[in-house]
């Protein structure tokens, strides 16, 4: 019999030391941007990889204070490339300007794209948060071995949060971007993201020989595979709650959210609505829910 998944426990005790370079692993330095919010927690973590030669991962928001902090931390060392885990603007908005200033190419998983085409009457609720115009100088692909600064890095495609999301393995450490974060569960908003892809990418990173995860928001996760396993169980529990809510009479996403999150503040409910929509779509693909869509909304049934 398989052992039960560990209980999911979020860690919000992280002290970011915003703007200061913090060594977090051998050859990896974190500089946290001053863009704290309900969706970014204490701000976006940019990472410098390397010793004598560097790569920058997730430059973050287009903020002159953060750019100055990165330049100070780089301290005149050559930068071989600017890498982006994915093209949401809290990670990528500074990328083009920093690349030009450092004369470094942009590497990431291709231009921003939806996980599936828009349906009739549908809009992407996070379209303004997406960096549609950013173009890579090099498109990174799954299982590719790259030199980032003077470190050896393996690229892992991890779609789910969005279609072009990447994670990066450096020895036993995984830069997990927004795919796995210790402070909260990840927003999956269709059609920008995909819950089916998210589950598959969780299985993928759990199987990797990486222990410590360094997310793009919040602090390090000491036992990444155990935490990701708990996160997967949490998502499966949400699937079960969605089905139970529909069986009890909830026939729309807002009604399901009201059942599952009755006492949460508005920002939490807005994020929950996006993720519950992704759960509903996933359960529909498995044949566990029936969904009808029209110009006046979506109806859900068993």
Question: Whole-prediction pTM value?
Answer: 0.96
| Predicted pLDDT at 3 | 56
Question: Pairing relation of β-strands 79-83 and 297-301?
Answer: unpaired
Q: Are 83 and 36 in contact (CB under 8 A)?
A: no
pLDDT of 61 reads 98
- Taking alpha carbons only, the member of 220, 94, 92, 224 closest to residue 156 is 224
Per-residue confidence (pLDDT) for residue 5, from 0 to 100? 63
Q: Which residues of the chain have pLDDT under 50?
A: none
Ordered structural domains, the chain, with CATH: 22-234 (3.60.15.10), 235-301 (1.10.10.10)
Please choose, from the candidates 187, 186, 232, 184, the residue with its C-alpha nearest in 3D space to the C-alpha of residue 205.
232
């Amino acid at each position: 019999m398989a052992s039960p998944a560990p209980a999911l426990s979020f860690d919000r005790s992280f002290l970011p030391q915003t703007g200061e370079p913090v060594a977090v692993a051998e050859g990896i330095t974190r500089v946290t941007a001053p863009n704290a919010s309900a969706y970014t927690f204490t701000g976006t973590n940019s990472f410098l990889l390397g010793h004598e030669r560097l790569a920058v991962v997730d430059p973050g928001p287009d903020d002159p204070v953060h750019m100055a902090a990165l330049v100070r931390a780089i301290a005149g060392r050559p930068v071989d490339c600017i890498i982006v885990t994915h093209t949401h603007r809290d990670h990528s908005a500074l990328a083009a300007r920093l690349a030009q200033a450092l004369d470094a190419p942009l590497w990431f998983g291709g231009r921003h794209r939806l996980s599936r085409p828009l349906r009739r009457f549908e809009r992407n609720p996070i379209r303004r948060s997406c960096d549609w115009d950013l173009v890579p100088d090099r498109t990174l692909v799954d299982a590719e071995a790259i030199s980032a600064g003077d470190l050896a890095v393996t690229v892992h495609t991890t779609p789910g949060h969005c279609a072009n999301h990447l994670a990066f393995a450096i020895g036993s450490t995984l830069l997990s971007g927004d795919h796995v974060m210790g402070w909260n569960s990840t927003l999956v908003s269709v059609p920008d993201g995909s819950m089916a892809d998210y589950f598959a990418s969780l299985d993928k990173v759990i199987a990797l020989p990486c222990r410590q995860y360094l997310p793009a928001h919040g602090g390090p996760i000491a036992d990444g595979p155990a935490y990701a396993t708990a996160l997967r169980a949490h998502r499966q529990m949400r699937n079960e709650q969605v089905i139970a809510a529909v069986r009890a009479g909830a026939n729309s996403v807002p009604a399901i959210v009201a059942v599952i999150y009755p006492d949460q503040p508005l920002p939490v409910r807005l994020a929950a609505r996006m993720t519950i929509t992704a759960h509903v779509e996933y359960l529909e693909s498995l044949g566990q829910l029936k969904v009808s869509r029209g110009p006046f909304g979506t109806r859900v049934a068993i």
